[in-house]
């Protein structure tokens, strides 16, 4: 599943080129997770006023309302001056006078939803429960510690939940916990302030490096021009079960948490 770095890489791949563009057409393919919520022809003639991100949602602000795009489990966005003929897994095209944006999603768990504004109940139904953005000034160590003290679940599961901090998905939670020296099964409320501070730094570092490397391409993800990400090549623990830890040579372990694979080093990461 594309996580925050992949979504941010995608956004940066077309944001500047789409700003100010006028919508010339909208094409819908097979139904996605939710309906568009507006007649496609009503978007024609509108201009793109912003291209931002909230968690794993890309927000395209228009002259009237805006679009919320989610890549789902296997989706990707492609941007080009001229789109080729659509295929069976191309489910949404936004055609503008500055290029065309296409959502390609083989599993159709992605979404494109129109809302009258990004503060409208339609948008807040998707965005309202999201935690703080980890790469923003609002992600502050002391507030992070206070929020974790109120959570009794395993720290890995709390990070994946997205209510405390948004977008730290499975790959990057495993990597950040390794850098912070924290066992993924440790209860969030038991973490001391110094350990939370290390985790805060690790989250920011891992996500920033992942964005610089174009995200992680494990299965389907590619950027808007078809390029792959390379963060997975630098992973310390993720996907390395049985391989030696790059720090202490102890074999990396894997366990299942909430039906997700968690990778960790028993020696470097303490409860």
Find the catalytic residue in 3, 6, 8, 175.
Answer: 3
Helix (H, G, I), strand (E, B) or coil at 209: helix
Measure the CA–CA gap between 97 and 92, rounded to whole angstroms. Answer: 17
CA distance readout (Å), 159 to 34, 38, 44, 191: 26, 34, 40, 13
Q: Would you say 57 and 127 are in contact if contact means Cβ atoms under 8 Å apart?
A: yes
Number of neighbours of residue 192 by Cβ within 10 angstroms: 9
Which one of 27, 54, 260, 266 is the catalytic residue?
260
Q: Which of 11, 17, 56, 151 is catalytic?
A: 56
The answer to whether residue 17 is catalytic is: no
**Structure-token pair, residue 270:** 């303490």
d(CA 134, CA 7): 14
Q: Is 2 a catalytic residue?
A: yes
3 catalytic? Reply is yes
Tell me how far apart the alpha carbons of residues 162 and 177 are, in angstroms, rounded to a whole number: 16
Specify whether 50 is catalytic.
no
Residue 4 CA to residue 70 CA, distance in Å, equals 11
Q: Output the CA–CA distances (angstroms, integers) from residue 13 to 55, 79, 214, 221, 237, in the order listed.
A: 17, 8, 10, 13, 28
Residue ranges of alpha helices (H) inside the chain are 4-18, 121-127, 141-149, 155-161, 170-180, 193-212
* Pairing mode, strands 253-257 and 57-62: unpaired
Residue tagged active-site, from 2, 5, 134, 184: 2
Catalytic residues: 2-3, 56, 260
């Amino acid at each position: 599943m594309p996580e925050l770095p992949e979504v941010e890489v995608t956004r940066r791949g077309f944001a500047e080129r789409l700003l100010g563009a006028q919508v010339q057409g909208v094409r819908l393919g097979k139904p996605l997770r939710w309906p568009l919520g507006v007649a496609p022809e009503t978007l024609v003639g509108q201009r793109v006023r912003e291209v931002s991100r909230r968690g794993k949602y890309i927000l395209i602000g228009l002259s009237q309302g805006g679009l919320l795009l989610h890549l789902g489990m296997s989706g990707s966005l492609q941007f080009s001056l001229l789109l080729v003929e659509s295929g069976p897994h191309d489910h949404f095209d936004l055609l503008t006078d500055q290029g065309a944006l296409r959502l390609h999603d083989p599993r159709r768990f992605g979404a494109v939803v129109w809302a009258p504004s990004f503060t409208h109940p339609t948008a807040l139904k998707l965005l309202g429960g999201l935690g703080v953005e980890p790469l923003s000034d609002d992600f502050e160590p002391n507030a992070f510690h206070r929020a974790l003290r109120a959570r009794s679940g395993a720290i890995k599961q709390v990070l994946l939940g997205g209510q405390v901090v948004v977008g730290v998905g499975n790959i990057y939670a495993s990597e950040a916990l390794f850098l912070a020296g924290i066992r993924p099964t440790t209860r969030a409320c038991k973490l001391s302030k110094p350990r939370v501070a290390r985790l805060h730094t690790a989250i920011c570092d891992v996500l920033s490096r992942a964005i610089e490397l174009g995200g992680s391409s494990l299965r389907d993800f590619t950027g808007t021009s078809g390029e792959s990400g390379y963060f997975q090549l630098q992973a310390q623990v993720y996907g390395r079960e049985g391989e030696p830890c790059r720090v202490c040579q102890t074999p990396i372990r894997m366990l299942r948490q909430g039906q997700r694979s968690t990778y960790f080093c028993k020696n470097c990461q303490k409860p």
